[in-house]
Amino acid sequence: MATAKKAPAKTAPAAKAPATKAAAPAKKRTPNAAFMKALTPSPALAAVVGSAPLPRTEIISKLWVYIKANNLQDAANKRNINADAKLKDLFGKPQVSMFELAGLIGKHVK
């Protein structure tokens, strides 16, 4: 039983469309109001980021400043954060992944 060979696919250069339409102007992204809402941290979180109400994005930023200043990233796996005394109260366990960080913070803000 002989099988027919298929001809190799031809690759033609992509034809450019005529420039009759003007390029659409880029839309500026508007910030999500939920991220900008000031939230009051719990006492455990306030020990790390301060007691003033802050947006969720600023809370995460201040947490990373604290983590890097105290050298709390795991040396072998930089995605893990080793908790000191203050962060252990916040996390509830000795080590967390950086991807768990935002979820754990949600329990400590109102």
Domain limits for position 48: 36-106
- The pLDDT score that the predictor gives to residue 68 is 96
Would residue 20 count as lying in a domain? no
Q: Which amino acid is at 74?
A: D
Would residue 98 count as lying in a domain? yes
The tens digit of pLDDT for each residue in 2-42 reads 676 776 666 666 666 555 556 667 788 887 777 789 999 99
Helix (H, G, I), strand (E, B) or coil at 18: coil
- The pLDDT score that the predictor gives to residue 12 is 63
Please tell me the total count of domains within the chain: 1
Would residue 53 count as lying in a domain? yes
The tens digit of pLDDT for each residue in 30-85 reads 877 777 899 999 999 999 999 999 999 999 999 999 999 999 999 999 999 999 99
- The pLDDT score that the predictor gives to residue 82 is 97
Would residue 30 count as lying in a domain? no
Separation in Å, CA 10 to CA 5, 6, 15 = 15, 12, 14
Would residue 2 count as lying in a domain? no
Would residue 71 count as lying in a domain? yes
Q: What are phi and psi of 55, to 5 degrees?
A: -70, 155
Evaluate the CA torsion angle 93, 38, 49, 41 in order and state its sign: negative
Is pTM beyond 0.85? Reply is no
Give the Cα separation of 87 and 71 in Å (integer).
13
- The pLDDT score that the predictor gives to residue 80 is 97
Would residue 78 count as lying in a domain? yes
> Which residue in this structure is represented by tokens 């960080």?
101
CATH of the domain at 44: 1.10.245.10
Beta bridge partners of 80: 97
- The pLDDT score that the predictor gives to residue 29 is 80
